């Protein structure tokens, strides 16, 4: 039996709080996992940005990537490491690069998910290009924006086809607002999407591997209050439906980590925003839900690293499309069938068995860690990077209090289940 060290790399941008917590929890867990005749230990490193030989070795088994959706050097390093070194990365860089919201809307419509009616309109302004003017003169048909709005129906939302941090999103209640928003949209290529009226619940579901956390969400609140601390706002079947929806979306695009927004109206959950393959992971927005995210990251990264899980480098949509084409299956049954594919691809049963066998002490480690000075300092560092000096102490205590409430409720939950 050999002692083996598997390395987990963190490819980071402006992230502060969760990497500190991730590193410390892995260290405190003192993992020595027997696997296939070896004893596997885990080490965590932060991936640096530097020149690289395309054939250089890669020491990492897994990389959690928070950077390559916008930073090309890291993206290309990760792509070469996946191809040449069998790296497992969260998330698939080719899929993240190509699957913007336009693609995800089309794909989930194809699978029958109740995505609201959506149109794309040409941009108001264009990047300069030698062939721009003749192209527009020959092929850009004049259109009546008011007529398009009428066909979709008000209210509607105008938002960029590729999304990102609520950039350029406008609620439109009539033709004048539509024209004004379009005039101000500049070079952004925009969607017009019918608003879901009469909704009684807005959720954001965080999916990480087979793990899904369904959170009540309030997009009208300040950022630090959008993720609500509410309990029992969906029943068991609704929770299962949302889990099935999230894992269907994630595995369809080859993503391990994503967040999905849905609105419930008339008992139906309408997915409205589900191409967030670099989800918000900061304590300043997640607060109470932050420890869940860090623990889920640790579980999935350790499982993938220890078992040598192979990354699905290419998406395979055919099994989903075969189910979508079945006229004999109602929507809910199709969604269950999609989720069965998802659980197979994510090795859900194997993951749960692994956690029960090798990570049974992780809950206690996480709960204990989030009472430490190191954890509070991670919160402080993130708050200090975002808030004005006179608010740093107030919001540090606010977020820290939410984490302590999580520790209390999580301890009670685990005690009830034991």
User: Tell me, what's the pLDDT at 165?
Assistant: 63
- At how many degrees (to 10) do helices 348-358 and 331-346 cross? 50
> Strands across the sheet with 190-194, in order?
118-121, 190-194, 156-160, 170-172
Classify domain 117-194 at the CATH superfamily level.
Answer: ATP-grasp fold, A domain (3.30.1490.20)
d(Cα 48, Cα 250) in Å, to the nearest integer?
A: 27
Bridge partners for 271 per DSSP: 262
Given a contact cutoff of 8 angstroms between Cβ atoms, the answer to whether 191 and 119 are in contact is yes
Domain with CATH 3.30.1490.20 in the chain: 117-194
d(Cα 351, Cα 298) in Å, to the nearest integer?
A: 12
pLDDT tens, per residue, the chain with 418 residues: 799 999 999 999 999 999 999 999 999 999 999 999 999 999 999 999 999 999 999 999 999 999 988 899 999 999 999 999 999 999 999 988 888 888 999 999 999 999 999 999 988 888 888 888 988 888 888 889 999 999 999 999 999 887 766 677 889 999 999 999 999 998 888 999 999 999 999 999 999 999 999 999 998 899 999 999 999 999 999 999 999 999 999 999 999 999 999 999 999 999 999 888 889 999 999 999 999 999 999 999 999 999 999 999 899 999 999 999 999 999 999 999 999 999 999 999 999 999 999 999 999 999 999 999 999 999 999 999 999 999 999 999 999 999 999 999 999 999 999 8
CATH value of 3-97 in 3.40.50, 1.10.1060, 3.50.50, 1.10.10: 3.40.50
Domain with CATH 3.40.50 in the chain: 3-97
- How far apart, in Å, are the Cα atoms of 274 and each of 15, 257, 351? 22, 11, 24
- How far apart, in Å, are the Cα atoms of 385 and each of 22, 192, 291, 382, 395? 19, 35, 20, 5, 12
Q: Which long-range contacts (CB under 8 A, 24 or more apart) does 24-29 make?
A: 24/369, 24/374, 24/375, 25/294, 25/295, 25/298, 25/362, 25/365, 25/366, 25/369, 26/298, 26/302, 28/365, 28/368, 28/369, 29/298, 29/359, 29/361, 29/362, 29/365
Q: How many Cβ atoms sit within 10 Å of the Cβ of residue 353?
A: 11
């Amino acid at each position: 039996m050999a002692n083996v060290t598997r390395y987990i790399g963190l490819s980071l941008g402006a992230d502060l709080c969760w990497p500190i917590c991730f590193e410390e929890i892995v260290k405190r867990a003192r993992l020595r996992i027997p696997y296939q005749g070896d004893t596997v230990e885990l080490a965590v490193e932060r991936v640096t940005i530097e020149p690289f030989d395309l054939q250089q070795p890669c020491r990492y088994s897994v990389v959690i990537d928070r950077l390559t959706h916008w930073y090309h050097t890291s993206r290309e390093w990760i792509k070469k490491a996946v191809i040449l070194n069998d790296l497992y990365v969260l998330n698939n860089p080719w899929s993240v690069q190509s699957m913007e919201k336009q693609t995800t809307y089309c794909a989930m419509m194809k699978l029958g998910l109740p995505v609201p009616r959506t149109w794309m309109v040409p941009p108001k302004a264009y990047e300069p290009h030698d062939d721009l003017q003749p192209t527009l003169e020959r092929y850009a048909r004049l259109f009546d924006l008011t007529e398009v709005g009428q066909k979709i129906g008000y209210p509607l939302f105008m938002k960029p086809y590729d999304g990102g941090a609520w950039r350029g999103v406008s609620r439109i209640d009539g033709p004048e607002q539509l024209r004004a928003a379009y005039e101000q949209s500049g070079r952004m290529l925009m969607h017009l999407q019918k608003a879901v009226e009469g909704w009684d619940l807005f959720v954001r579901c965080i999916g990480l591997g087979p793990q899904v956390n369904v959170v009540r969400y309030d997009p009208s609140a300040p950022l630090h209050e959008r993720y609500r601390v509410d309990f029992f706002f969906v029943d068991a079947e609704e929770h299962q439906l949302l889990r099935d929806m999230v894992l269907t979306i994630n595995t369809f695009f080859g993503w391990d980590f994503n967040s999905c927004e849905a609105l419930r109206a008339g008992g139906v959950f309408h997915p409205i925003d589900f191409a967030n393959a670099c989800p918000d992971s900061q304590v300043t927005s997640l607060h109470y839900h932050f420890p869940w995210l860090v623990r889920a990251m640790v579980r999935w990264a350790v499982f993938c690293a220890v078992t040598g899980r192979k990354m699905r480098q290419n998406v395979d949509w055919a099994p989903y499309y075969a189910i979508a084409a079945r006229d004999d299956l109602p929507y809910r049954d199709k969604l269950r069938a999609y989720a069965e594919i998802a659980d197979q691809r994510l090795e859900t049963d194997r993951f749960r068995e692994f956690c029960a066998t090798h990570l049974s002490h992780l809950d206690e480690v996480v709960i204990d860690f989030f009472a430490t000075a190191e954890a509070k300092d991670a919160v402080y560092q993130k708050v200090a990077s975002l808030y004005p000096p006179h608010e740093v102490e107030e919001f540090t205590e606010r977020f820290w209090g939410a984490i302590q409430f999580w520790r209390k409720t999580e301890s009670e939950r685990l005690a009830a289940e034991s």
